[in-house]
Amino acid sequence: MKQLLVTGVDEVGRGPLAGPVVAAAVILDRDYAIEGLDDSKRLSANRRQLLDNEIRSHALCFSIGQATVHEIDELNILQATFLAMQRAVAGLTRKPDKALVDGNRLPDFACQAEAVVGGDGLVAEISAASIIAKVYRDRLMAELHQQYPDYGFINNQGYPTQMHRQALREYGPTPCHRRSFAPVREAMRLHGF
């Protein structure tokens, strides 16, 4: 009997004030166990990087999808997150029979799907997706830091830290800021946008 192909799906970047929301979908090779998979938030940056390399080398396939700042502002963050997840699953080179998604809500996929609350710490495929998405988005935010060093993206990844909010008030928003988020709207008003 054919073994079901299961993809894990997770996102990173729903809460930041800047940058895209990123989702990953991963189908693991059941004949190759990757040790130490966990929710990306519980792993050090160094450990995430090592696991990211191992997942990329040994997964049957993986894909990354994202929704832009413009799409987040147009759709809202939940719908943009669903769009990023759909793009990640659609980008897989092998079509999954089932998607296991971290959380309690699901977008529409072309396969069966199930939401798993806390799945990034419970299901290996979701943990792997969590790691791939986090490492990818952190890299994107490090690149944005090169363009906009005053906002501290290298350290805050766009999240609303005190330093980031202060920079918003002082310098106003950049093109990579989410204009539909309240602290960014407030900074736009301050700067007459």
Domain boundaries, the chain: 6-147
Alpha-carbon dihedral angle through residues 168, 11, 79, 105, given to the nearest 10 degrees? -130
Q: What is the CATH number of domain 6-147?
A: 3.30.420.10
What digits encode the pLDDT tens for the residues 107-165? Answer: 999 999 999 999 999 999 999 999 999 999 999 999 999 999 999 999 999 999 999 99
Nearest C-alpha neighbor of 41 from the set 65, 14, 12: 12
| pTM given for the model | 0.96
